[in-house]
Amino acid sequence: MAVPKKKTPSARRNRRRSHHGLTAAKLAKCPQCQEPTPPHQVCPSCGYYKGRDVLKIEAKKAKAEAKKKARKDRAKGK
Ligand SMILES: [Zn+2]
């Protein structure tokens, strides 16, 4: 394994790390539900993109609730 001959000085190390800063995610407002959402992506809270319901989140939510209820009823029945 190659081993550095000299210890990297703190100034050089810090200069290298001066580019490592993170930036906060840029968020746009969803025109459908007004929630902050990443631009050019389907809104994660309402599933709309370019005025169309792409993910049908409400339908999926209703289906999941129905499934949950059915499971609960089955557990009670036993
Ligand atoms: Zn939305």
Q: List CB-based neighbours of ion ligand 1 within 5 Å.
A: 30, 32-33, 43, 46
> Which pLDDT tens digit goes with each residue over 3-60?
999 999 999 999 999 999 999 999 999 998 999 999 999 998 888 899 888 888 888 8
User: What's the pLDDT at 78?
Assistant: 59
pTM above 0.75, yes or no: no
Helix extents (H) in the chain: 10-17, 57-77
Q: What are phi and psi of 52, to 5 degrees?
A: -115, 145
Residue with tokens 């059915």: 70
The residues spanned by each domain of the chain are 27-77
Q: What are phi and psi of 66, to 5 degrees?
A: -60, -40
Structure tokens at 23: 């930036």
- Report CA(32)–ligand 1 centroid distance (Å): 5
User: What's the pLDDT at 54?
Assistant: 86
**Residue 67 pLDDT more than 70?**
yes
- Report CA(48)–ligand 1 centroid distance (Å): 6
Q: Name residue 43's amino acid.
A: C
